[in-house]
Structure formats: C-alpha cells, structure tokens
Structure 1
Amino acid sequence: MSTRRKERILLTGASVVVTVTALILAVMSSLTEVYSLRSAAPVLSTYYSTLKPAASTPATYDPPNPGDGGEWIDIPPPPPPSFSPVPTRSAISPTGAVSPSQTEQPGLEGCFDGRMAFKAPSPLKQGEKVEFVVRVVFKTSPIDPGSGLPGTGDPTRRDVLLCEKMRADLTSEDGGMNIERSTSETIALPKSHFGEWGWHITGVQPGRHQMVLRLVIPDLEGDTAINSHTETITVDVGLMYVVSAWIKDMSAPMNAFLGSIALVGGWVVVAFTRKTKKGKHAPTTGAH
C-alpha cells in the first residue's frame, strides 16, 4: 500500500471520529430534554383528567295517560329536586379539631387561637428531595406564617388551636414518599414569634400520594394527648426523574471524554497534513 493511500485512510478515520463525537453530544443533549418533559407527563395527565365534564343523563318526561273511561287525565309533573345548601369554609371544622368546650378542660388554660401555614410539595419528581415546613403563630402575633416558606405556589392557611407546647407528626399513607424529620418533634411557641417544624420529602413511587399532618397538644396533666388539627396533603410524584438526573450527572464526564477523542482526532489530522506537505516539498536526489 502506498504512503499516500495510508495517509488518506488515516485522514478519513480521523474525520469519522470527529463526526461521531459531535453526533453523540447532540444525542445526549436531546435525551436530557426528552426525559425532563416526560417527568411532568403524569402530573399534567392528572390535571387534565380533572377538567373532563361529567356525563349528564337526559331528563325524561312521562306524558299523561288515558283514564279507565277513555278520557285524558292531567298528571302533574314531578316536583323539582331539593338541594341542601353547601356549607361555607367557616362552617367546616378541620378533622380532629378541638371544640370550644374542650378548651375548658384542665391543662388547656395556656391554649389560644392560632394560625398555621404550609406549601404542599407538589408536583414532586421521583427521586427528588425537597424541604417541607409547617409554620404556626398565635393569632395575636403580627407575623404572617405563610411568608418566606420554602416551595412554590401559594401557601395553605388554617385556623388552629395552639398551646405553649405543640407537637407535629407527618406520615405517608401509602409509602409513596420517604419522610425525614429535620427539626424537633415538640416545640415551645413564643407569643410574639412563630414556631415551625420541618421535614425532607423524597418521592419514591410515581403517582398520586397522600401525607397526613397532625398537630398534637402534648400530655400536660398526665392525661392522653389531644389532637388539635389533622390535614391530608395530596402530592403528585412524576416519573423518569431518576433517569433524567443520571443523564445530567453523566453528561459532564461524557462530554469531557468525547471532547478528548475529538481533540486527539484533530491532532491526528493536523499531524498527517503537515507530514504530507513536508513530503511534497522534500528535495529529490537522482543519478546524473
């Protein structure tokens, strides 16, 4: 094989290496965008499913029937359905809330009306870890418990009964999320400031899951602790976050590896180009 043919083969191989490297980089970038879009698909499908109108049943009407003598009898239409008034939010008591009569029990003298706020960690991506904070204040405090909470969206606010010492518990009903406490279980509430509890929430299984938050008045007089407030929090966990995160984590070392290959290929092209030019201009000797 001649020297010129060898040089052409090496130049062609180096060009192929550079082209393949560029294609691999483009594919890695496209996969990252595709998996990021797929992670939001379950949450969007859940949202749009709630917008479907409910199927309606067509109303029926019975015409008048002839009597025994052959004459027509007027049959009055059925009475319209009666609807009970929907209770307003102020008329709905939270599950497990302490009634006013319970505040007269011994040991609840230090309990007062208060406010609670939190931001639901939804939507949550599978494998993603976020901070969830519940903040409470007495109603006499000028502080807004919903200001500065971590998370996105508007905070959820509730009126609750608070005592000088309170405990908060957060559990996952179906095991779809991993919950880790980041603050103390029981806290002492200052009268002019806020108190808060914190957890780290990690989405384990994709789908719609529920957490249960309980505010508890701890044992003050040797009796059973009293449940002050119970809140069910719905969290949508999206799919494919783990794969997308892996691609993002591997993109940096993969890009460095492919960049090294491209650099070596370019160096080979330059080296053989110089060698070819040098061979063309080299002096030739012969017999005279």
Structure 2
Amino acid sequence: MLAEFAPAKVNLYLHVTGRREDGYHLLDSLAVFGPAGDLLTLVPAATLTLALDGPFGGALTAEPDNLVLRAARALATAAGRVAGARLTLSKGLPVASGIGGGSADAAAALRGLDRLWGLGLEAAALARIAAPLGADIPVCLLSRPTRMGGIGEVLRPAPILPECGLLLVNPGIALATPAVFRARQGAFTPPAVLPTRWPDAAAMARDLAALRNDLEAPAIALCPQVATVLAALRSLPGCLLARMSGSGATCFGLFPDAAAARAAAGGLPAAWWREAGGLYGGGG
C-alpha cells in the first residue's frame, strides 16, 4: 500500500490581472501549502475503484466522476496501460472551500499512481497530463511555495519564505468558484512585485498587506460569514495578516510561527473548521 498526502493550497494573495477571450481569468498569485490536507491510499488491483471516508468524504459521494478517477484514467491512457488500483480518499478538507482540495487530490493520484505503477515519469510529464484536468493541479503536483500566473498553469519559483505559521478557518459554507468570479466587479489588478526573500514573517506580512485577494469582496457579498471569520482572525493575538484564500470561504491567519498559530486556534468558535501549523514544503 502507498499513501500520498494532498495538502491544502493557500493563496497568500490573488490578483485577477485580465481575462482571456475564452472567458478564463488570468491570475497572479503566491501559493503555499498549509498544515491540513487529504490522504489518498493506493493498493494494486485489477480494476480502478475509489472509496471515500473522512470528515468531508460524504460531500463527494454524489459526484458521478470524481477528479481522482479522472486523473487516474488520464495517467493510464498516457502510459498506455490499464487503469487498475484500489484508491481510498480520506477527505479532511472542506469541499468547495478555496484551498484546492479537489486539485490536490488529483495531484496526489498522479504522484501515487506513478509510483504504484512504476512509471517513473518526470515532473514535466505529469504536469502535462494534469493541465487539461484543472488549472490548479500542476501547482498541487509540486506542493511547495510557487508563484502562479496565466490561468494557474504558469509556474515560477516563489520568494524564499521565512518560518511562519498558518491558521486555516472555514465557517462551514461551500462557495462555488464560478459564482464568485461572476460576482467580481471593477478593473483588473497588475501583477505584484515581490522580493527574492523575506527575512521574517512580519516583513512578509507587511508586503502582503499591500496586496489583495481580488475575489474576497465578491465572496463576502455572496457569503457574509467570510467577513466574520476575517474579523475573528484579526482579533487573535499574534495574527500578522488575515485574508481569504482562493475563491473562499476558507480564510487564513499568518503568524510568526506554527506554535503561535496553533495557540491562536483555540480562540475561534468550535463550530468552525480550523487547522493550524507550519507551511508544507517550505517556510517553517
């Protein structure tokens, strides 16, 4: 049996920089990977099956074709082999929550099946298979701090990040990404200018505070609880920055270190989903 962790993708900022003729929006974002995630286990089998469990597994049972299965079939087709594996997805991330859970799961399937089937594909080959399935899957394949451009498929190195902590919070409300984009109004935002590194979390928070998530306002219009979560995060001791991730409704608080983030989590309502710790794949 193999296991692949699928960490949450968190957008420290997200600028909508334009829109293509086909309707897709162009973005500029700094993506990091947080302390929470899903877990995909993989066992050899003659046919392809997927079982769901975990706190949020039930939310996916009605899906006719989970993205994990689509990723598995795409990899098998590219490799010229039969798609066979018994997959179990333990869903620890809220669904439709702006932290890339479905994309992270598909990326975990591609990484895990590449190992299970002994394909030995290079990262670039997996990214080519991933791209048609979803714009966020290539960055989730990396699962490390990355600068995102285009519709999400243009990936560049991130600045060197300092040690820091993240507190992820979701009020328990799903937000559909297309609806949030449709609700966005106003002009486009230029790409950010970032340094090559930040000396500490406080310096990073100061620079990020001058940036924004262009989807935060439309998300709040659709889901006012996002504003409630942000206000609660900003009131916590040690919180350096509070912002919504992706298209919401998950928000994050940036803290000096993982211990401070974990300590602050106790100050939030127990009914909210929350996870705290350091960054996955770099920066503490």
Q: Above 0.5 in TM-score?
A: no
Q: Please tell me whether Structure 1 or Structure 2 has the larger radius of gyration of its CA atoms.
A: 1
- Using structure 2 for the length normalisation, give the TM-score: 0.21
- Using structure 1 for the length normalisation, give the TM-score: 0.21
